[in-house]
Structure 1
Amino acid sequence: MESSAKAVAHDFPPFFRVFEDGTVERLLGTETVPPTTDSFTGVQSKDVTISAETGVSARLFLPKTASSTHKLPLLIYVHGGAFSIESPFSPAYHSHVSSLVAEANVVALSIHYRRAPEHPLPIAYDDTWAAMKWAATHCRCNGPEAWLNDHVDFERVFVAGDSAGANIAHVMVRKAGDDGLEGVKIVGMVLVHPYFGNDRPDKLLDFVFPTISGPNDHRIYPNKDSNLSSLGCNRVLILVAERDWLNERGRTYYEALKQSGWGGTVEIVETEGEDHVFHLFNPNCDKALALLKQMASFFNQV
């Protein structure tokens, strides 16, 4: 291919490489699928533009049971991929969120934030917050998107994400605790195999977040956040995998949140014998189906 003849300036396998002319080659997560109506579950999906100026968009999912007489919880989902690959339109994420919608009977907004390295952090945080504020404009049933106006109960909003997306999800709920999100009540947050920093050097993190304020930046290191008790929801579920290199970081977050003085309830569940985001690679295995049901049960708690 053409890129193989160009000089590589920065190489971060298996995610991306940057060439000396500034072009970026993503090594994973570039395949996309269109929105559709799932023939088995009846879940519908469509794509929406949130900001024409920045290009921030999302994929909306609506369960088969949706009606004008009974409003449903809203799941705001943030995909993973080292802040740099994948999207809501990737086959794995489209399938995962669609399955969550069918299992939990929720409406979902899966956010397409701008990705590093072309758009380094904190841009992904800013884009996701902009998408959440856009969603909140529908709380009085007069926003630009009919599915949100007609089918969402904004008193029952959940935020979830995996890996880097779980990091973004935390930052969003923490920001909601400080700044509020008018018309929206964030009931709970699910962090799946979350990425948070540790004390070891991380060249990829330094590259995708060049303005990070060091090891005390609580967006990456929430255990260093002296105001973690301000987290803007009442319930948190943390899912970790036994063989995941990020397992310890999820557990550190769990302990930090418990000790912060936050008044909510937090639970951590480990999947034995599995690796990082195994449920995306093997969604039909028994343990992936169990994870899906754990998340759906969390969303359905009163």
Structure 2
Amino acid sequence: MASESSEVVLEYPFFKVYKDGHLEFRFPPVAKIPPSDDPDTGVRSKDVVISLDPPVSARIFLPRIPDPARQLPLLLYVHGGGFSIESAFSRNYHNFVSTVAAEAGAIAVSVEYGLFPSRPIPACYDDSWAALRWVAGHAGGDGAEPWLNEHADFGRVFIGGDSAGGNISHTLAARVGSIGLPQGVKVVGVILVHPYFGGTDDDQMWLYMCPANAGLSDPRLKPAKEDLARLGCEKVLMFVAEKDHLMKVGIGYHEELKKSGWKGSVELVKNVGEQHCFHLFDPKYEKAVELKDKFVSFIKNN
């Protein structure tokens, strides 16, 4: 008989669970890069601590500012990674968010939230909400971060994320609609790139990572109609990828949002012939540029 340390009892897309309780991830730990000043785009970045207990941090990107008197739209970005891997500080996410900041002329705050298994779900949701509240706390111009105090237009806030980050972005918008944000802070739009929602084989993995759950009907897994109806933004831009196993549930979210009674507008973009989050791995690829340009245009034109 196999020992408990070598006997696999559960297998999920991102990790295996052994009988003795230890986990084996299918992906190596992600390498993190430091913040920097980009001489090509003029984007500056730095890391900030939002909370020590629980530990929440973020990377802030400030684009070149041709007119110091002009306030800039603000993007809160939530990275993907199956709630268990990746980082706001990885090269792929640093480069993507930095590029969006440069081309949209927006300040971006990329959230470093708690990951399973060290911090099981719902840490990712609570940390991201804490980050949004921290950002909103600068609306009066007296917050802890000078870049936000001096340059952010809190009447033009956007929330965006991909994969798991798309799921978290939805929950943030739902919380904005039900709880609200400080006076003077307005979430104009939400951008969901290949978002994860319930209805695939990944559901059991999510339930395992979230010990306190409401089963397959959990509103974080399967968005509730009442949450959709009060989504706290005016516009939603959604991307789904044709070769992504999450495409069907993404389209389902789009359809349910339109039927919910929500008064905003939603646009669905289908990335034909593409895989899940393809845009992160080859930013110069023609269709990756198209996705990024659409993302940027949504911020610039709203």
The residue number in structure 1 matching 2:282 is: 282
The 1:142/1:10 distance shift into structure 2, 3 A limit, reads farther
Amino acid across the alignment from 1:174: A
Q: CA deviation at 1:203?
A: 2.8
CA–CA separation in structure 2 for the residues paired with 1:30 and 1:132: 24
Q: CA deviation at 1:294?
A: 0.2
Q: What are the within-5 Å matches in structure 2 for residues 190-229 of structure 1?
A: 190-198=191-199, 202-222=203-223, 224-229=224-229
The residue number in structure 2 matching 1:150 is: 150
Q: CA deviation at 1:272?
A: 1.0
Any idea what SS the aligned residue of 1:121 has? coil
Q: CA deviation at 1:13?
A: 6.5
Q: Normalization by structure 2: what TM-score?
A: 0.92
Any idea what SS the aligned residue of 2:41 has? coil
The C-alpha deviation readout for 1:152-206, integer Å capped at 9, x for no partner, is 0000000000000000000000010000011310000000000000165733112
Any idea what SS the aligned residue of 2:217 has? coil
Task: Say which is worse superposed, 13-22 or 88-97, in terms of deviation.
Answer: 13-22
The residue number in structure 1 matching 2:111 is: 111
Q: CA deviation at 1:39?
A: 2.2
The residue number in structure 2 matching 1:291 is: 291
Q: CA deviation at 1:225?
A: 2.8
Q: CA deviation at 1:211?
A: 1.5
CA contact (8 A) 2:8 2:17 kept: yes
Q: What are the within-5 Å matches in structure 2 for residues 1-302 of structure 1?
A: 7=6, 15-16=14-15, 20=20, 22=22, 27-65=27-65, 68-183=68-183, 184-198=185-199, 202-222=203-223, 224-302=224-302
Any idea what SS the aligned residue of 1:238 has? strand
CA–CA separation in structure 2 for the residues paired with 1:301 and 1:56: 31
CA–CA separation in structure 2 for the residues paired with 1:98 and 1:280: 12
Task: Say which is worse superposed, 84-93 or 11-20, in terms of deviation.
Answer: 11-20
CA contact (8 A) 1:189 1:236 kept: yes
CA–CA separation in structure 2 for the residues paired with 1:174 and 1:66: 35
Any idea what SS the aligned residue of 1:75 has? strand
The C-alpha deviation readout for 1:33-79, integer Å capped at 9, x for no partner, is 11001121111110000002211000000001265311100000000
Query: How many residue pairs end up in the alignment?
Result: 297
CA–CA separation in structure 2 for the residues paired with 1:22 and 1:126: 25
CA–CA separation in structure 1 for the residues paired with 2:52 and 2:275: 38
Any idea what SS the aligned residue of 1:226 has? helix
Task: Say which is worse superposed, 213-222 or 192-201, in terms of deviation.
Answer: 192-201
Task: Say which is worse superposed, 8-17 or 280-289, in terms of deviation.
Answer: 8-17
Amino acid across the alignment from 1:185: K
- Unpaired segments of 5 or more residues in structure 2? none
CA contact (8 A) 1:237 1:268 kept: yes
The C-alpha deviation readout for 1:5-49, integer Å capped at 9, x for no partner, is x64767756634566475775724521111001121111110000
CA contact (8 A) 1:139 1:149 kept: yes
Percent of counterpart pairs with the same letter?
46
Q: CA deviation at 1:269?
A: 0.4
Amino acid across the alignment from 2:121: L
- Unpaired segments of 5 or more residues in structure 1? 1-5
CA contact (8 A) 1:100 1:292 kept: yes
CA contact (8 A) 1:28 1:86 kept: no
The C-alpha deviation readout for 1:238-290, integer Å capped at 9, x for no partner, is 01111111111110000000000100000000111110000011111000001
Any idea what SS the aligned residue of 2:173 has? helix
Any idea what SS the aligned residue of 1:215 has? helix
CA contact (8 A) 1:29 1:87 kept: no
CA–CA separation in structure 1 for the residues paired with 2:143 and 2:293: 31
Any idea what SS the aligned residue of 2:243 has? coil
The residue number in structure 2 matching 1:3 is: none
CA–CA separation in structure 1 for the residues paired with 2:100 and 2:282: 15
- Root-mean-square deviation (CA, aligned residues, Å) is 2.1
